[in-house]
Chains A and B, each alone.
Chain A
Amino acid sequence: MADKLGPLGWMGLQFFGRMSASISHEIKNVLAIINENAGLLEDFALMAEKGMPLDPERLERVARGLMKQVQRADVIVRNMNRFAHSVDDFEKSVDLQELLAVVVRLAQRFADMRRVNLDLRPAAAPVALATRPFLLENLLWCCLDFAMDRAGSGGTVAIRMEKTDDGAQVVFEWMGAPGDAEARPFPSQEERLLAEALAARTELDVEGGRLRLILSKGNPGGAA
């Protein structure tokens, strides 16, 4: 089945699956906290039945806790929705900074697990791109995943988008010590195919701690 899908198809499915699993973990964590808050309210009710006075401040604290988790879940689901809709159209014009923000938000849990700080810099000016949104998200994730590996635990990855004469570029810069981990080859064969499908190319400078994703004008992935 994988060979009928082709490497990009399978890679895309794995990317979608991995992000979906991560989102579901985040939502589970939110549910666990809501569950504990509900349990705490139940405990207060039982204590009140036994004649212990209710403390309004504690009740307020529970209410604030619940609202915080609802807001958290709302952000998670909104991002999930944006990500899900990125397959609506195979090719369309997108705001590159917004698309980048979706990927960085999706990557946040992975970054937290690896103890890497992500720093998405604001763009100097918006860039509209005629691109293949889902494929571009996939490639951006691959670049970010590699950069996080290189940053290592306690490190930082700064991400910025810049307009160029020929289109746009996304720069990933990492600071940190990856320990004994050797730099895995980047791009892999699949990542190279993905870049080709986007008329994009990558430039890696391991010593300088930088990876550039260059998107050309006038082709999928190019600036409008």
Chain B
Amino acid sequence: MAEKVLLVDDEKDFLELMAERMRARDLDVTTTDSATEALKMAEKGGFDAIVMDLMMPEMDGLEALKLLKEKNPDLQIILLTGYATVEKGIQAMKLGAMDFMEKPADLKLLAEKIKKAKARKMILVEKHNEERIKKILTSKSW
């Protein structure tokens, strides 16, 4: 099954091009140019990865990352930035970003990271399911 990606960037031209190239690589891509919209879309769920610009109007990428992770800690988020400093990278990782890449991004590398994000998500979903089953088994007296 194709990896499902949410792409978030306020530069519409960049967004459309990247989405077109990702779709040509059989990724299932949804786009938005608004961080606020991205929060609503992420809540509906189903994304294997969210690829998001760090500097956006309304809300910057780190703020959006924080809010996204609060609602769903298992979300795999990759941040894109014009200037990937060590300081920003550390901040992003501390807030729970899966990865941090500098623009212009290498699409091959980004696609690999998205595959990795999907694998991570599947592991987490399995782990949660196991925990749920364990809880049911230990709570029921047969």
Contact = CB atoms under 8 A, between A and B. Distances in A.
Given A25-B55, A69-B13, A112-B57, A31 B21 contact: no
B57 A115 contact: yes
Interface residues of B, number: 19
Interface string B8-45: 00110110011011001000000000000000000000
B122 to A, nearest CB: 28
B17 A37 contact: yes
Contacts of A114: 57
B21 A115 contact: no
Given A33-B13, A36-B18, A43 B57 contact: no
Given A29-B14, A68-B13, A69-B13, A36 B58 contact: no
Contact of B17 (A40, A47, A112): A40
Nearest to B14: A33
A24 B55 CA distance: 13
Contact of B82 (A29, A34, A47): A29
B107 A113 contact: no
Given A25-B55, A39-B107, A113-B55, A32 B14 contact: yes
Interface of A: 24-25, 28-29, 31-37, 39-40, 43, 47, 65, 68-69, 112-115, 153
21 contacts: A24-B83, A25-B83, A29-B82, A31-B104, A32-B11, A32-B82, A33-B14, A33-B17, A35-B105, A36-B18, A36-B21, A37-B17, A39-B21, A40-B20, A65-B17, A68-B13, A69-B13, A113-B56, A114-B57, A115-B57, A115-B58
Interface of B: 10-11, 13-14, 17-18, 20-21, 24, 55-58, 82-83, 103-105, 107
